[in-house]
Amino acid sequence: MKQDKRILRELKREVKRAGNKRRRQFLKRQLAEKPEEAPYAEFDFGRDSSEGFNAMDQDAKRKKKTQERK
């Protein structure tokens, strides 16, 4: 169980790192090409989105908190 959780966390960390790198490069490029429109630029993380990893590692603590709130 702990090994699976560690692997998931490492994979999520790698995906987030790749997405942030691409986002920073995109924003720098936008600032150089279109400085007046740069603050309004939208970035799509695409396959580097870590949204799918959220709440995959069901901790005992997480389960306990959700049950108490109901």
Show Cβ contacts of residue 31 under 8 Å, excluding neighbours closer than 6 positions. Answer: 38
Confidence of residue 42 (pLDDT cuts 50, 70, 90): confident
| Nearest Cα to Cα of residue 30 among 21, 22, 39, 17 | 39
φ, ψ (nearest 5 deg) of residue 23: -65, -45
Confidence at residue 68, expressed as pLDDT on a 0 to 100 scale: 59
Confidence at residue 3, expressed as pLDDT on a 0 to 100 scale: 84
Average pLDDT over residues 27-52: 83
Burial class (CB in 10 A: 0-12, 13-18, 19+), 19: middle
Q: Which residue has the tokens 């790198």?
A: 21
Average pLDDT over residues 27-34: 89
pTM: 0.57
